[in-house]
Structure 1
Amino acid sequence: MKFSRQTTLRTLVTVTGVGVHSGSKVNLTLGPAEVDAGYVFVRTGDGIDREVRARPGAVVATELATVLGDGEGPLISTAEHVLAALRGMGVDNATITVDGPEVPIMDGSAGPFVAAIDRAGVVQQAAPRRFIEILKPVQVAIGDRVGEFLPYANGFRAEVEISFDNPLIGRQRYCLELTPESFRRDVARARTFGRMSDVQQLWQAGYALGASLDNSVVFDADRVMNPEGLRYSDECARHKVLDVIGDLALAGLPLLGHYRSVRGGHKLNNLALTTLMADRSAWRVVEAEPALKRRPARGHAEVVGGMLGGLVPAYAPDVS
């Protein structure tokens, strides 16, 4: 079921892990935020105390992860998994306080962040939920990699196709109709992954110092190196869908549309999103009409069953 009002977290909750690239211990605290705040990262530690809102213009790098920053430089790396958890679980407004340069990698998935959201609890706020509705196709390409937004009448749909030169990964495709239930069940536990040869190159370059079999699925030429194996037979494609949800959470509002990615990653997702937002004829903001106005109240009047049936045009968001 979907709420017609915005949501935030009931209370603060903290998780602790390591940064996948630095290998350093880091604490992350999720907390409530005001109506229309969206997702606000607060970077502390190392003498830093600065905020950055999760918006397309805040992305300063996408090579190894989604990195957010401001005019003074990068602030938070590997933002995509916690953003995916918040968007996937239907949280509209939240603060994310991190006392280091990276969001902790945890087990390589969004599962620990979902568990943290469960501990904090989700509450409704006194303002209607707003969405970005895709009105026409928008496509971008980087070589043979393609990202495309399409209109879609039933919520948000993410479709990913991947192809890797490894027989254990190969070609995979996964499609998700996003709801909190489907996110929790089908993609939240899908872990980040890589080939052993790639991991060794990253180590030599001074990256992925915190990567291990505890937080990454690692493929050798002919085997999965993790003793427990895969969580899903197509875990790699599912994790790419998780990344899509996190990267597109930077839109600032939940999307109503279909996003298709072929051989994509953080760079392509960000390019597709910035291209979409730059074309003001390709989208509009719509607002959930309170259920109480649309039908007599029975039980919890704020809960609406359909996605588009109770929406009205609103206005454009601040996308700067």
Structure 2
Amino acid sequence: MHKHEEAARSSEAAPETSETDASVAVPTRRTVRQVIAGYAALAKPRVIELLLVTTIPAMFLAGREFPDPLLVLVTLVGGTMAAGSANALNCVLDADIDKVMNRTKRRPLVRDSVPRRNALIFGLLLGAASVAVLWFGANPLAAMLAVGTIAFYIFVYTLLLKRRTSQNVVWGGAAGCMPVVIGWAAVDHSVQWPALVMFGVIFFWTPPHTWALAMKYREDYERAGVPMLPVVATPEHVAKQIVVYSWVMVGWSLLLIPATSWLYAAFALLVGIWFLFFAHGLYRDVRAGEETRPMHLFRRSNTYLMVVFVAIAADAAIGLPMVGLPW
């Protein structure tokens, strides 16, 4: 997205200057495509991929069948708007942090491609639209869960936890777990225990996933004054915590077996062992003082989550007999 934006800017003619003062340049007018790209970047579309990976399987499991396509579409649109709202408002509040971090210095507010006031209005409008879409297209429970998610991400994670504690992503990560609950509620009009188990899988997945990224960008977070665990703790302690949370995550994922079948059980166990192998490998390399590649674990964490939730969807769609009693 940013590469296209830079290419578009570089291809434009040089800005015109006034006749009275050739040293004062008139800013080049931005194209419609550049404006759209700027607002889209505010929503952090790559972060929203988690919504797509987890929401649909939750909807499959809630009905133990293919959900209504229109309901899926409405839920994804409403959920995407809610996530985009939270992300845009986060960009407004964290613009000072984004400015000093190499990983985030190309975001719209840092580059002044979107005015701060406009970004705030955009985030609020997206949030209001998400509530309307979910309220009338799904049900009020799904809509209210979306409101709670936005509020939690902004007020609890961004304003309260992020700059104050190394446990920021542990508790603040709960906002990223809500798509499965919203998806379940959209189908079932309630929140049952399998939805909470799926919530927990993502909850315990978030620290290993985020801390692996933070190990790579430790200097970025330190420069920004964000006390991520890799900033305030030794690499060995961070790697050990990644292993602990990984074990809890894999164990927690098996709690969903009574609501599924042997298909999910097999995939959850195998991909869990696979991920634990690499988590322990990172810890071993850190202890041995060898070169570590935390981004490898970061990418594999994405693969882990995708496999687990695809297995949930496949299990529900095929309709194999459940291991335990239905909820």
Q: TM-score, normalised by structure 1?
A: 0.28
Q: Which has the higher contact order (CA 8 A, sep 6+)?
A: 1
Q: TM-score, normalised by structure 2?
A: 0.27
More helix per residue: 2
Query: Between Structure 1 and Structure 2, whose CA radius of gyration is higher?
Result: 2
